[in-house]
Chains A and B, each alone.
Chain A
């Protein structure tokens, strides 16, 4: 225990140290070394009695879980159920001979994705920790792919997608900001283009879409189409015309207040009811997608509404003072700002929408989750539901997690978001 009185060398009545003394005492101060591992452990895990207890309890629980999980993954699990059903998981009942369309779409996305990542101004700072994690992830992913994929063709194609994306990353870096506009147009066109590719020219009807492919497509459709509809609804809700406003409010509240599952199950009925009888009835899956789009649009409307509410009065006043018409004001001043401030909430909603595509199981669509369930029911792999669910969960998780990380980076870059 240190001597707590005024220590030696500091006389009580000593005068104020002269300037020279102080100068000598300074000099190039050494930088404090980062704490040694032992110190860090003591600081963060065992700093107090309570802390120690927590560390021990959590630590043992963690150890138990890791043991059980490892035991399952490496010993008891029969991963053949995933490997042999891989195509079903990825594209469902999609006819084999048409799968090239899916591959082409994948390459298109890889190209655009790589270019965008390369051309984007925010660089990831590669700390040592990130490098280690990155390498580990790459190794694990490669091993998984190699273990699960059975044909050389698919294996090559899969690595081809990754290679293409990486190559495009470098091209994008070289080109830089020049690509921003053309890329935006390309992304917007890519979606209808892919639709045409998959459906048109003797392609595959939506009835046969399934697997993870379906989840991704449904999410994209939902996002693309619900965005403009949602904005319209938000504007409608603020309209001064009572008819328009009440319609918007009712629409939004009903769609938001009822669970998506209910909407999907009743979609066949509701859409069938409201369409003119002369029209050919669209396939059930299209009806469900329509209903899902409106569901999403209701949420988008509320997010946009929140964004519009956040715009200062001053903006409206300034715009009017400049002589802008209402439409111009909304289009050039208000909406851009409102939309920008809602980006985090918007992305979060889209991630939810993507997760909700798993609900199509309710209307007998064989998406990834349905495929996972189904493959554990047949005689051969009965009861192997944990393996298939873990695989399905992993696929879902990868996309959702990446989107949420991307959103966080976007937020810091734009400096918006909830403070």
Chain B
């Protein structure tokens, strides 16, 4: 059987979610989310905690399984009998709130682990790529250190480099700066901005309004498991349509 690989069949949206619902036991976390992300688009999702933002973003790379509805990633549908989920996942990079760097490996080994073991790259090629990426995120000198020796902002930048090492088509960010001290947030956001400008398709769950305004192509509000409003940043922040959006914005701005 053949699987549609990539954008060959004319799908212009990298990510399509259609009426996605998810339950945790009796609790419904997602109430039918429908949305679309185009190539090179940066979408920022905001909303109160518990609104399902993280849950939704995790269904995209199938860290959570959706119960109803359909999800398409680069034309490939995520279903129960998807055979090469690992392959799909290697096209999607994810950055976590708590970094999740591997403490028993050096920074460089953290970055090269997946390319060497999933794409079977030779060590030399992987190490070079790792150094390139470390340069790109601004911390090449940390290559041989262990995650425990780095600051939070540095660790998160390593996490971004690690995700980029697989040369993904899509990057997912789950509250990347929420666990950082204020003075380190900027360095991470700068990396993310550079990434967006270079043409990466990104979904970012975040509270960083400045970043959303500045970098996002679209902003979405999640509340209680529903997609309440989505619009271009200016429209979203300056003239929101929905009551709940206004309420949310008034709380944080």
Name A residues whose Cβ lies closer than 8 Å to a Cβ of B: 1-2, 4-7, 10, 12-13, 16-17, 19, 22, 25-26, 29, 31-32
Contact = CB atoms under 8 A, between A and B. Distances in A.
A13 B12 CA distance: 8
Contacts of B210: none
B3 to A, nearest CB: 7
B23 A31 contact: yes
B230 A26 contact: no
Contact of B226 (A6, A7, A13, A26): A26
B18 A10 contact: yes
B10 A12 contact: yes
Interface size bracket, B side? 20 to 34
B13 interface: yes
B144 interface: no
A4 B31 contact: no
Contact of A26 (B31, B67, B229, B242): B31
Nearest to A15: B36
B55 interface: no
Nearest to B226: A26
B28 A12 contact: no
Nearest to A14: B36
Contacts of A4: 3-4, 75-77
Contacts of B28: 29, 31
B77 A22 contact: no
A19 B70 contact: no
B26 interface: yes
Contacts, number: 52
Contacts of B23: 31-32
Interface string B25-42: 010100110101000000
A39 to B, nearest CB: 12
B84 interface: no
B32 A22 contact: yes
B87 interface: no
Interface string B146-164: 0000000000000000000
B1 interface: yes
B67 A16 contact: no
A10 B16 contact: yes
Contact of B21 (A10, A12, A29): A29
Given A10-B18, A31-B23, A22 B1 contact: no
A308 B141 CA distance: 41
Interface of B: 1, 3-4, 9-13, 16, 18-19, 21, 23, 26, 28, 31-32, 34, 36, 67, 70, 72, 75-77, 79, 226-227, 229-230, 241-242
Contacts of A22: 32, 34, 226-227
Q: Is the interface of A mostly helix, strand, loop or mixed?
A: loop
B161 to A, nearest CB: 30
A26 B21 CA distance: 10
Given A5-B9, A26-B31, A29-B21, 15 more contacts: A2-B79, A4-B76, A5-B11, A6-B11, A6-B75, A10-B16, A12-B11, A12-B12, A19-B229, A22-B34, A22-B226, A25-B32, A26-B32, A31-B26, A31-B28
Contacts of B34: 17, 22, 25
A253 B241 CA distance: 74
B1 A19 contact: no
Contacts of B77: 2, 4
20 contacts: A4-B4, A6-B72, A6-B75, A7-B18, A10-B16, A12-B10, A12-B11, A12-B12, A16-B36, A19-B241, A19-B242, A22-B32, A25-B19, A25-B32, A26-B31, A26-B226, A29-B31, A31-B28, A32-B23, A32-B67
B230 A16 contact: yes
B13 A12 contact: yes
Contacts of A5: 4, 9, 11, 75
A145 to B, nearest CB: 40
Contacts of A6: 9, 11, 13, 16, 72, 75
Contacts of A10: 16, 18
A310 to B, nearest CB: 21
| A19, A22, A25 interface centre (most CB from chain B within 10 Å) | A22
Contacts of A31: 23, 26, 28
Contacts of A12: 10-13
A26 to B, nearest CB: 5
A25 B31 CA distance: 9
Contact of A1 (B1, B10, B26): B1
B86 to A, nearest CB: 15
Closest 6 CB pairs of A and B: A6-B11, A4-B77, A32-B23, A12-B12, A26-B32, A26-B31
B228 to A, nearest CB: 8
Nearest to B2: A4
A10 B70 CA distance: 11
